[in-house]
Amino acid sequence: MTRPLRKRFGQHLLSNPNTINNIVKVIHPKKDDRLVEIGPGRGAISVPILKNVGNLYAIEIDRDIAREVAEQCKNIGELEIHLGDVLGFDFHKLANQNNPVRIFGNLPYNISTPLLFHLLKFSDCIIDMHFMLQKEVVDRITALVGDSNYSRLSIMIQASYKVESLFDISPSEFTPPPKVNSSFMRLKPTDKFQNQIKDKIIFAKLVETAFQQRRKTIKNSLSKVATEEQLTKANIRPIQRPQEISIQQYITLSNELALLTSQSTRLGN
């Protein structure tokens, strides 16, 4: 007997076969791929992927669902399920320099944003990621500077990945139907910005601080971490709002702050 989904896990399982086929085509799995699925559910995407490649890793928090998908896939291919919370999962365990991973999944809406930030730690071992997310989240991820959706999430993800919204999915294509629209997207690691960032911790903290008070001017929101002179040096006007400042400008400012921190450390020694 199929058990009802648990609301606390934010589970909405895709049930439209045409959309499932489109997702598999977009992922384009190949025999040598090291594929990892986050939240396989009852195997709607796992099964066709396994038919293509023969083996698959999956991360699932729900024990009952894990048993169901394992049973569903047992005669199709090799499915290795890691039972637990993906927010604490170390993706380096499944990858190395010679075997980077490709990650995909229908991400639970209630953890999608913290999960995306968690995955930033593993961009060095990822080929690409394909996710179904709440459309609102995808709009924020892909937003450009000046857009009302441009946010901390936009900057941090785009600083590490090339992002692309592929197609939208209506609530009627899920069981149970969510109250929001969804989008399917691709994220692919890029060095465009990563090679420029001198201190990733300082960069991340700077962006986080700026958007804690996004309605204030950048001069005020960063008053405790950067001077007007430092803002101007990064080609940032003190009267701009956080959402009006480009990724490149945030990087330039964070590098200036990192340089000063380094100099202070050397002087202290």
pLDDT tens for each residue of the chain, 269 residues long = 444 545 444 456 788 899 999 999 999 999 999 999 999 988 999 999 999 999 999 999 999 999 999 999 999 999 999 999 999 999 999 987 688 999 999 998 889 999 999 999 999 999 999 999 999 999 999 999 999 999 999 999 999 999 999 999 999 998 888 888 999 999 999 999 999 999 999 999 999 999 999 899 999 999 999 999 999 999 999 999 999 999 999 999 999 999 987 655 543 44
Q: What ranges do the domains of the chain cover? A: 7-190, 195-268
Euclidean distance between CA atoms 238 and 17, whole angstroms: 52
pTM confidence score: 0.90
For the range 65-71, what are the long-range contacts, defined as Cβ-Cβ under 8 Å and sequence gap of 24 or more? Answer: 65/5, 65/11, 65/40, 65/41, 68/2, 68/3, 68/42, 68/43, 69/40, 69/41, 69/42, 69/43
DSSP H or E segment with residue 184: strand 182-189
> What is the CATH code of the structural domain delimited by 195-268?
1.10.8.100
Strands 174-175 and 78-83: unpaired
Question: Domain 7-190 class?
Answer: alpha beta
Euclidean distance between CA atoms 151 and 122, whole angstroms: 21
